[in-house]
Amino acid sequence: MMNFREFIENYSKLSDSDWITIEQLIERKEFSKNEAILEENNVCRYFYYLECGLIRFYNNIDGNDLTKTFTIAPYCFTSKISFRKQIASIEGIQALEKCVVWQISYDNYKKLEALSSWNVFIRKLLNEIHDYSESFYLEIRTMTAEERYKQILNKYPVELIQKIPLKHLSSFLGIAPQSLSRIRKKIQPVN
């Protein structure tokens, strides 16, 4: 759990008393590979810190499973609208490998809003996520799938990318799995 404190302190300084409060309101949970963390149409009851593992957000549109994004440890996640409004989620969240999370219930999250350090952390985290989303949507509109795949390769270790099933990565890029296979072959370094 100390990793979570360090993560928060990248955004906001925490007093020991603030950390003790957070510690008392958070619980550890593990998810197995491919286990649903949140199913579509269910209310998201938790805000999570992903200590280790890899997750994906997805939508099922007309029977098609479409990957929205991935979250890589260490980072925080939730189904933002569902959690904030306590309404049914329009997205699902799935563990792509064994994941360890620290979860904070909606009621406990509301209690943490009394801490100014927590509010600074959440505000800075949301701004960071917003900036990422803006960049992501611009990339979708201006870059080819091949350019976006190359960018992913530059940002993340190959071992991590190889953990993502081809169907989810191709869905994220907005192309067929066969097209992603061709792109991978095309940009593989020659030995």
The ranges of the chain annotated as CATH 2.60.120.10 are 2-129
What was the pLDDT predicted at 191?
Answer: 42
Other C-beta atoms closer than 10 Å to the C-beta of 103 total: 18
- E strand intervals along 86-186: 92-95, 99-105
For residues 122 and 116, give the distance between their C-alpha atoms in angstroms, rounded to a whole number.
10
Per-residue model confidence as pLDDT tens for the chain (191 residues): 669 999 999 999 999 999 999 999 999 999 999 999 999 999 999 999 999 999 999 999 888 889 999 999 999 999 999 999 999 999 999 999 999 999 999 999 999 999 999 999 999 999 999 998 888 878 878 888 888 888 888 888 788 888 899 899 999 888 888 888 888 888 875 44
What's the CATH superfamily of 2-129? Jelly Rolls (2.60.120.10)
Other C-beta atoms closer than 10 Å to the C-beta of 32 total: 9
Whole-model pTM: value is 0.87
Query: Residue 174 gets which letter from DSSP?
Result: T
Give the alpha-carbon dihedral of 3, 8, 14, 18, to 10 degrees.
-80
